[in-house]
Every structure is written in C-alpha cells, then in structure tokens.
Amino acid sequence: MEYFELNDGNKIPAIGFGVFMIPADGPTYEATLAALEAGYRHIDTAAAYMNEQDVGRAVRDSGIPREEIFVTSKLWPQDYAAADAPAGIRRTLDNLGLDYIDLMLLHQPYGPVDEAWAALEEAKEQGLIRSIGVSNMTPKIWNQWIPGFKTVPAVNQVECNPTFQQRALREVLEPLGVVVECWYPLGHGNAELLGNPAITGPAAKYGKDAGQIVLRFEVQEGFVVLPKSTKPARIKSNLDIFGFELTDAEMDAIRALDTGKGTHDPDDPINAERLLSFRVHD
C-alpha cells in the first residue's frame, strides 16, 4: 500500500474502497469485509449513502486493529447549520460504532458551509475526527468559502478520471497541499476510455487490465482513488496497482485524454437546489 501525507500531518492510503450505492443491511457489510480481507485499509462512506452501520460493523468484525483502518464519512447539508452539525457528526459516529473518524468531509458545498466547517474543526479539536475536508468543490466554490475558514481542508473529493483531470482545480489546491480524492476514478466504466490505446497498450505491457492502468495513472498523479465493486475478483484486482510504474511517456499519453468535462457540475444551481432538498434522516 502507498500512502500520501495530508497537510495536517496525517497519512491517507492511496486507494480506498467506496461504498456509494451499495445497499445496506448486508451487501455493504459483505463488500466492505471482502475489501478489508483483500488488503484495503481505507473505506469511504457517507451519511447520505445510508450504509454507515454496515461499514462500521465490517470494520469491527474484520479482526484488523482499528488504527490500521482509515475510515471516511461525510456530513450532509441537512446537518450543516451550527445547531445541527454536532448532532450530525455524533450520528455518524454512532452509526459506525467507532470512537473516531479518520476523515470527515462536507459532502456537498451548499447551505451554511461555514457553520458546518466550524463544527468539523471543533470535532477535530475534541479528537472525534482526525482529518477534515470537503467534497465537490470547484475552483469557484472553493474561492467562495475557503479563504474564510480558520483551517485549510486536507482533502477535496471530486469527480476525477483520465477524461476529467481537474486541472484548474489542482492549480488551486496544490499550493495548499490539499489532496484530491477521485470519485468515478474509472470514468463510471466508460468503454471508450477503457478501450483507448493509451490505456490498453500499457495494460498489455504490464500484464494488467485497463482499470488497473487507470487507477495506477491516478495514484502516480498524486490522487487518492476510490473504486467501487461488489464482485470479490474486481475488489481484489482494483487493489493490484502497486509494484510497477507507468513511464513518463505513458503518463503523458493518458494526460492527453483529458476533455475537461465531467458528468456532474457543482456550479449548476439546479444541483444545489436538488441536493439541498434531499434528506438523510427525519
């Protein structure tokens, strides 16, 4: 396993197991346990995924010391107000059944973001959270909020893959030591991407599949990747991206696939309206 150092001094595994859209009450538990048994030491969940309890149970049942597992969850905008955020953080801790969260993010950049951030900062000071970060912040949204924060986020989790490499955002984040985490790191299974010669060529050369080459590219770029699968074979293969390196020429060929376009635009007011109306609890 490779690790990246965060700007708060903590370390984060370069690859994590994402559980977005895996059902609760069994499937998430089984998939998370399979991931931990395969060697993952980083699990990414969220209040809005409705499966924090399964993740926590798998972490506890894995037999792996708690300090060896990096657990991420996310606060939902419903709980961003100063009066609600501490309870939202505590609800996640209770759902997970853990004493602390390694990384907690603001899931969406809408609503009273500043109040929610202050609550994360306080929870970190109390030892309930080790690192704090944000998610889905574009350069515009980042510049709207972050200059007013007391501390700089350690992470910004965004859509990121070879066809959407977040170059403008990285120019903002890199001077601050903020790590980019990739959701949809495989381009949501984009057949055109996975079949591109810039991917299939190195795959044949190194004896890897296309997905492994994409994930390897992203880790070499300094991204934390969060692939998801419920298939044990795929869970294992997604982790098998260490022990080799892409050459500079291979990296450049994949960099050239960037279109600058993703599937989700956080700057679109329609998304803000839609996500602010979604509730994760009564």
Q: Could you tell me which of 61, 11, 66, 20 has the C-alpha nearest to residue 230?
A: 20
Please state the φ and ψ torsions of residue 208, each to the nearest 5 degrees. Answer: -120, 165
Q: How many CA atoms lie within 13 A of 196 on its CB side?
A: 21
Please state the φ and ψ torsions of residue 157, each to the nearest 5 degrees.
Answer: -95, 120
Q: CB-hemisphere CA count at 13 Å for 104?
A: 30
Annotated active-site residue in 49, 80, 110, 184: 49
Is 49 labeled as catalytic in the residue annotation? Answer: yes
Q: Where are the beta strands (DSSP E) in the chain?
A: 3-5, 11-13, 17-18, 42-44, 70-75, 101-106, 129-135, 155-159, 179-183, 224-225
Determine how many CB atoms are found less than 10 A away from the CB of residue 139: 15
Structure letter (DSSP) for residue 16: -
Give the C-alpha separation, 66 to 101, whole Å: 11
Residues taking part in catalysis: 49
